[in-house]
Chain A
Amino acid sequence: MEHHGVIIEDTFAEAFRMWAARLIVTAIDETQVKIAASTVCGYGTSVIGCDAEAGVERFLRPDETPDNRPGVSLLFFSFNAEKVAKALPNRTGQCLMTCATTAVYDGFPGVTKTDDSARIPLGDKLRYFGDGNQKSKVIAGRRFWRVPVMDGEFLCESSVGGVKAIGGGNFLVCGRDQRSTLAATRRAVDAMAALPDTITPFPGGIVRSGSKVGSRYKALFASTNDEYCPMLRSRGKSKLRDGVGCVLEIVVNGTSQKSIAHAMRIGIDAACAAPGVDRPIAISAGNYGGNLGKFHFKLHEVMNGGGK
């Protein structure tokens, strides 16, 4: 299959079950919102080594936020609800409560505790920083904790919704060299940036160190994806087409298969539409033989509007 003259490999991206929470963070101006977002999402690329995969879903206008201030919607993913519940208070306490003027709201306010969803304590844990001076306020049926801090008070929702989600949707942009491949991949990330319900958690949305499961070293359960490393082409296991000198991956986490498939389609389309020498040679995807994750996004189906 070709798209804008770019080969779409007949393969699939393998994704797996995760749990997600959404935080709405507001602050006095857009500068503080961006600082808060970049800080709390820091070191949130892969659960291989981080407590959560985190990213900006989209920035919000004042009229879209609960307190009519500029804000941002953030998504956090981890393997299960318990791990999300451990990561969120840590990240919020260290990165948002410390960030001047911020307030934190639940992005899944209607979510209740069921088999497929959870309530994750957030302000209920952070309130103790108030040392007895904290106050709660119930507005529209939602409880908020108000923790006195040196710039006024830190407002934080008592708990946030956690939902079953999917992590590890991906595609590989196989280009000629670093500069052109990076340009095409950036186009893809930019096109995907505003899409709801998804994030691309890696630096700038782009991964250069795609991984395979396992390693020759016992301590590691993931190692470099040698089949897609151009400089290992002569070893005989390469899956790269002739002319490919650089591969960059975009990993997509989302709250549903539909949202991930849609994001992949938009991203692949943007990468394939890169002009001139930036246009990649092929688009592929990372999988583990189908044995690791139960969600398979077949590239041809995705590009034909399927994969939901």
Chain B
Amino acid sequence: MSGYTLTWVGDSVPRPWPADGAFLQPALSELDPLALSAWPIRIGHTTRTLDHFFKIDGDLAEKNAPRKLTVRNAPRWSRVGARMTGGELIIEGDVGDELGASMTGGLIRVTGSAGHRVAGPDFGTTRGANGGTIIVNGNVGDYAGLRMRRGLVFVGGSAGASPGFRMLAGSIVIAHGALDHPLLEARRGTVLSLEHSIDTIGLRGLHLLSDEKYPVESIAALRLLLSHLRSLGVAIDESVFNGTAELWSGDRFELGKGELWQWVSGS
């Protein structure tokens, strides 16, 4: 896969800087180098070109090849990958809020952490992500998957408050940490927690009720989800496949088809 790498050099450039990162899209890799350098970025009432802020490496993506854009050391902008429809966006470093907001396709990888409302709704819409995959190696903030309709979010670290808040469908996999009121007001969707924690808040409460424990080997949907993550390069320990997961269903005040799978132990 060919594509460009954008390395942030904007620290040496006088402000104003771009207000958000919505312009960072894999589609930029369809531009030839000259057009990419001259790509306009609106900042308030002024316009700057992309090469004003970034050092550009790499080459034009071949026709019909998957689009790929790598961004290094950029500020923690919000709305990175917002409304993305395809291709691959790699963020080397941290990002701000609304990562992949209202995205419908493609893959976003973040080597650091992300802010609030990952895969949530973008400005001007009430709908969260409707497809695509987000892999965050670090932590994410509150309300990951807010109003998410479809898609997959993997969090290599821990999540903030209420992952899956008002979720309509889709999947969120969280590798570490206790959860804080997962799936509040969710109608459907899956949250999978890969670290056993007795500190998860909201279980044995009113909105999530236990449907008992099951070996992961007997839950084809979870195995499929985990295998898919592995195929994307996410390290899923074999003990997860051989372990047991407890199913919590809810939000019982909503449709009740949401599910929290809390991994319990290895074999």
Determine if chain A interacts with chain B: yes
B223→A69 contact, CB < 8 A: yes
A155→B224 contact, CB < 8 A: yes
The size of the chain A interface, using a CB distance under 8 A, is 21
B197 at the interface (CB under 8 A from A): no
- CB-nearest residue of chain B relative to A156? B220
CB proximity of B242 to chain A, nearest CB, Å: 11
Tell me which residues across on chain B come within 8 A of A137, comparing CB atoms.
171, 190, 221, 224-225
A68-B226, A139-B171 known; 17 new pairs, CB 8 Å cut-off, are: A26-B220, A28-B218, A66-B224, A67-B220, A67-B224, A103-B220, A135-B257, A137-B190, A138-B131, A138-B151, A139-B152, A141-B131, A144-B221, A144-B224, A152-B214, A153-B221, A155-B221
Tell me which residues across on chain A come within 8 A of B169, comparing CB atoms.
136, 138
Contacting A153 at CB < 8 Å: which of B171, B220, B241?
B220
A146 at the interface (CB under 8 A from B): yes
Which residues of B231-249 have CB atoms within 8 Å of chain A's CB atoms? 231, 241
Tell me which residues across on chain A come within 8 A of B225, comparing CB atoms.
137, 139
A interface with B by C-beta (< 8 Å): 26, 28, 66-69, 101, 103, 135-141, 144, 146, 151-153, 155
The size of the chain B interface, using a CB distance under 8 A, is 24
CB proximity of A230 to chain B, nearest CB, Å: 50
B11 at the interface (CB under 8 A from A): no
14 interchain pairs (CB within 8 A)?
A28-B217, A66-B227, A67-B223, A67-B224, A68-B226, A69-B220, A135-B257, A137-B171, A138-B131, A138-B151, A139-B152, A139-B171, A139-B225, A151-B218
Residue-wise, chain B 1-37 has the 8 Å CB interface mask toward A (1 for contact) of: 0000000000000000000000000000000000000
Which residues of B84-109 have CB atoms within 8 Å of chain A's CB atoms? none
In Å, the complex CA distance between A257 and B150 comes to 41
B188 at the interface (CB under 8 A from A): yes
B228 at the interface (CB under 8 A from A): yes
Tell me which residues across on chain B come within 8 A of A136, comparing CB atoms.
169
B43 at the interface (CB under 8 A from A): no
Contacting B227 at CB < 8 Å: which of A28, A67, A101, A135?
A67
B220→A155 contact, CB < 8 A: yes
B188→A135 contact, CB < 8 A: yes
CB proximity of A49 to chain B, nearest CB, Å: 34
Tell me which residues across on chain B come within 8 A of A26, comparing CB atoms.
220
- CB-nearest residue of chain B relative to A27? B220
Tell me which residues across on chain A come within 8 A of B188, comparing CB atoms.
135
- CB-nearest residue of chain B relative to A63? B227
Residue-wise, chain B 205-225 has the 8 Å CB interface mask toward A (1 for contact) of: 000000000100111110111
- CB-nearest residue of chain B relative to A154? B220
**Max chain A C-beta neighbours (<10 A), residue from B151, B214, B217, B224:** B224
- CB-nearest residue of chain B relative to A68? B227
